Amino acid sequence: MAPGSPSRPVAACLFLVAAVLAVLAVAPPCCMAQNSPQDFVNPHNSARSDVGVGPVTWNETVAAYAQAYANQRQGDCRLVHSNCTGKYGENLFWGSAGGNWTAASAVAAWVSEKQWYNHTTNTCSAPSGKSCGHYTQVVWRSSTAIGCARVVCNGTLGVFITCNYSPPGNYIGQSPY
The CATH number given to whatever domain includes residue 143 is: 3.40.33.10
CB 127 within 8 A of CB 61: no
Widest CA span in the chain: 85
- In this structure, is residue 129 part of a structural domain? yes
Cβ contacts of 23 within 8 Å, gap of 6 or more: none
- In this structure, is residue 93 part of a structural domain? yes
Predicted TM-score (pTM) of the model is 0.80
DSSP string covering 113-155: GGGGEETTTTEE-PPTT--SHHHHHHT-TT--EEEEEEEEPST
Q: Which of 128, 148, 151 has the alpha carbon at shortest distance from 138? A: 148
- In this structure, is residue 32 part of a structural domain? no
- CA contacts within 13 A on the Cβ side of 80: 10
Mean pLDDT score of the chain = 85
- In this structure, is residue 99 part of a structural domain? yes
pLDDT of res. 4: 52
Backbone angles phi, psi at 124, to 5 degrees: -120, 130
pLDDT tens for 152-177 read 999 999 999 999 999 999 999 999 99
Task: Tell me the residue range of the domain where 160 lies.
Answer: 37-166
Looking at the structure of the chain, the number of domains it has is 1
pLDDT level of residue 129 (50, 70, 90 thresholds): confident
Q: Is the preceding peptide bond at 167 cis, omega within 30 degrees of 0?
A: yes
- In this structure, is residue 126 part of a structural domain? yes
